[in-house]
A = this chain, B = another copy of it.
Amino acid sequence: MRNFKIILEYDGAAYCGWQRQDNGISIQEVLEKTIGLITGEEITVIGSGRTDAGVHALNQVANFQSGTRLSAEILYRGINGLLPPDIAVKELEEAALEFHAQHDARGKIYIYRIYNSRLRRPVGRNYFWQINYPLDLARMEKASQYLIGRHDFSCFCATGSRVKDRVRTITDIAFKKNETGMLEITVAAEGFLRYMVRNIVGTLVEVGGGKYPPEEVVKIIDSGDRNCAGVTAPAHGLFLKEVKYCR
């Protein structure tokens, strides 16, 4: 057996998310079928983690094992030639047999894009969240400082999640507005709970819009109650930017 590491970009709009599901087409399923067509095997693709329905990825990492004799270059070109236009393998390389895209992941960086204007922007509208009331960026930045560090983030975890240990470490939250007025919020953590970035962004937007002060975020975290935090920001503004590994 050989083990291959792949780095992927995808537009999540058409998919039910990363993970195989009975009720829709997932990125994982498309990859497994496509790679299987090339190698002639039943392939299991292991992602660094799930992305939810509609969420995009710029550099999702995954691995798969195969007995193929094809070179990495031939696999790379063959797989890309068969993938649909909304999924691309950016890199493919042979990895150590022990490499496991999920277990070995040490951190992830997500980007959330917000366009804050009364004016709608039709071009590219599937890649940002439009907020049409004014957001106070300084308040949002202040609120974000309370999130950095090691906390029980139950308040930002999707309702119904079965995960018990909800302690996570956020290492950085950064704000950047580009020349076209697009606000990019970058959130880096060792790991994330389901909907965590989107729930954090929804809460920061409520702070920015004046619904409650930045300090309220401390109470929200302490409450451990999803109902105390803000709305879930829509999926189409979220991008998995990077997955970090030790080696």
Give me the interface of A with B, judged by CB distance under 8 Å.
9-11, 56, 58, 80, 85-88, 90, 119-125, 127, 239
Contacts and interface: CB of A to CB of B under 8 A. Distances in A.
B123 A127 contact: yes
A124 B56 CA distance: 11
Contacts of A90: 119
25 contacts: A9-B120, A9-B122, A9-B123, A10-B122, A11-B122, A11-B123, A11-B124, A11-B125, A56-B123, A58-B123, A80-B120, A85-B122, A85-B125, A86-B122, A86-B125, A87-B122, A88-B119, A88-B120, A88-B121, A88-B122, A90-B119, A123-B127, A123-B239, A124-B124, A124-B127
Nearest to A90: B119
A120 B85 contact: yes
Nearest to A179: B178
Contacts of A125: 11, 85-86
